[in-house]
Amino acid sequence: MKSYIEFKKVNKEYKLGKNRFLAVNNIDFTIGKGEFVVVLGPSGAGKSTVLNLLGGMDTVTSGTILVDGKDITSCSDRELTDYRATDVGFIFQFYNLIPSLTVRENVALVKEIVKSTLDVESVLESVGLNDHRFQFPTQLSGGEQQRVSIARAIFKNPKLLLCDEPTGALDSDTGVVILSLLQDMSRIEGRTVIIVTHNAILAEAADKVIKLKNGKVQEVIFNNNPIPVNEVNW
């Protein structure tokens, strides 16, 4: 399979006062199109940094990241913003919805920046939020809020979904529902989905598992027979 995402010798250095430390240390890996990938590792391993670099929210210290053949490390600020707007859908641990907008408006606001979007109603339908369209985020449960966040991410029809601990703030039952929703995004709709988590159990459901430790790739596991999320033994 042709690689869709490629990390080549990527380094990310942070300065903390006088100290410098490498959050990401000379990382190489590839991800194919439509893969359901889990990035695993203890906290501080550099998982989120990898995701932020890939999402164009942060810039590398050295190395290159290719997404669909495009080198995003050489993009200008403006181009990165466009990249985030059209190519990437983000899902965060804390949802990051706009509290003063309704569910529907939170999703529809993407229209402001992306021309070709899906239909709002059908996206809300697909995440099961049709009944909550006119409610505000604060009136919803955590799981429901995360679904709004997923709806917002897929509304622009991105090829790439980046999820940073999407179930970190949810109870496990709700978490399973959310994760299977994300898995469907990959299985059924053919999107590339990358999930960052410290929950090793999820590994069984992924096509590929990238294990990070101390900013380095420790191991890449290919899973030839991933099982659906709801069949994983939690």
Q: Binding string to another protein for residues 120 to 149, with x set by CB under 8 A, is what?
A: --------------x-x-xx----------
> Which residue number, 134 or 222, has a Cβ lying nearer to another protein?
134
Find the binding residues for another protein in span 145-204 (CB under 8 A): 152
By CB under 8 A, which span of 62-70, 109-117, 176-184, 226-234 interacts with another protein? Answer: 109-117
Do 40 and 200 form a contact (C-beta atoms < 8 A)?
Answer: yes
Do 55 and 162 form a contact (C-beta atoms < 8 A)?
Answer: yes
The CA-based diameter of the chain, rounded to the nearest angstrom, is 53
By CB under 8 A, which span of 29-37, 91-99, 195-203, 219-227 interacts with another protein? Answer: 91-99
Q: Does 22 bind another protein (CB under 8 A)?
A: no
Alpha-helical (H) ranges within the chain are: 47-54, 77-86, 103-108, 120-126, 142-155, 172-187
CB of 80 to another protein, least distance (A): 9
Q: Does 90 bind another protein (CB under 8 A)?
A: yes
The residue type found at 163 is C
If you count them, how many residues does the chain have?
234
Tell me the C-alpha distance between 171 and 31, whole Å: 29
By CB under 8 A, which span of 26-34, 64-72, 97-105, 190-198 interacts with another protein? Answer: 97-105
> Total binding residues for another protein by CB under 8 A?
36
CB of 231 to another protein, least distance (A): 32
What angle (nearest 5°) sits at the alpha carbon of residue 46, between those of residues 43 and 51?
115
Question: Tokens in use for 114?
Answer: 């992306």
CB of 121 to another protein, least distance (A): 13
Tell me the C-alpha distance between 169 and 161, whole Å: 19
The residues binding another protein (CB under 8 A) are 48, 52, 55, 57-58, 77-78, 81-86, 88, 90, 92, 94, 96-101, 105, 108-114, 134, 136, 138-139, 152
